[in-house]
Amino acid sequence: MHSTNTWEQVDHYISERLIPHDAVLEKVLATNQQAGLPPHDVSPNQGKLLNILAQMQGARRVLEIGTLGGYSTIWLGRALPTDGKIVTLEAHPVHVKIARSNISLAQLDGMVELREGDALEQLTQMKDEGVAPFDLIFIDADKPNNPLYLEWALRFSRSGTVIIGDNVVREGEIIQAYSTDPRVQGVRKFYDLLAEESRITATAIQTLGSKGYDGFVIGIVKN
């Protein structure tokens, strides 16, 4: 009963019971697959979790580091009020093109600011532009830079900002202190920073499902 197939079946069961069929979101996933994008989209139940967390937070401004094809962007955008805004960062030009099309399909163009280019460069530019703090920040990009993304997330936070990081268990590889995988080391340093940083309190949850064995971090910025 503890096979990957079982995890996938449970994910399917949860989605069938709790997530209504949505032609737009299904089309987005199909488009991403047909375009050959990496299969790194959050699962439907994870997407809805992001949506619910944004609603619980009463978020009006969201920062997403790592757009891919815009699937998670749409889930987050649908949680915001009509005058809400998402700033989402994506480095890969092909991913940007697909994401813009998907965001238009979801009729969220006016809400989403998709910034193309290296995320660290974009974040620096946003600082120079005086971009206001965000209510919720979702980190889901290249894992070696996770510690730097967390530092930037804190810079763009206020008291009460929720910060979420995805893919922070990596099939359990995070316990391998001497791993040569830069993604694993990036996530381990992400944990180290969370443990040391007095401005945020956080925890992590392990997940099993159609995306395999992984997990996410969720934290809240303190005064």
Q: Would you tell me how many other CB atoms lie within 10 Å of the CB of residue 37?
A: 19
Per-residue pLDDT tens over the stretch 115-124:
999 999 999 9
| pLDDT class of 1 with cuts at 50, 70, 90 | very low
Q: Please choose, from the candidates 169, 190, 156, the residue with its C-alpha nearest in 3D space to the C-alpha of residue 85.
A: 156
- pTM attached to this predicted model: 0.96
- Per-residue pLDDT, averaged over 112-134, amounts to 98
Report how far residue 9's alpha carbon sits from residue 3's, in angstroms, rounded to the nearest whole number.
Answer: 10
SS (HEC) of 42-76: CCHHHHHHHHHHHHHHCCCEEEEECCCCCHHHHHH
Per-residue pLDDT tens over the stretch 164-220:
999 999 999 999 999 999 999 999 999 999 999 999 999 999 998 888 899 999 999
> Nearest 5°: phi and psi at 21?
-60, 135
- Per-residue pLDDT, averaged over 35-45, amounts to 93
Q: What is the DSSP letter of 193?
A: H
Assigned token pair, 50: 């992001």
Residue 56 confidence (pLDDT): 97
Q: What is the DSSP letter of 144?
A: G
Q: Please choose, from the candidates 112, 151, 109, 113, the residue with its C-alpha nearest in 3D space to the C-alpha of residue 129.
A: 113
3-state secondary structure of 180: coil
Q: What is the DSSP letter of 135?
A: S
Report how far residue 4's alpha carbon sits from residue 171's, in angstroms, rounded to the nearest whole number.
Answer: 12
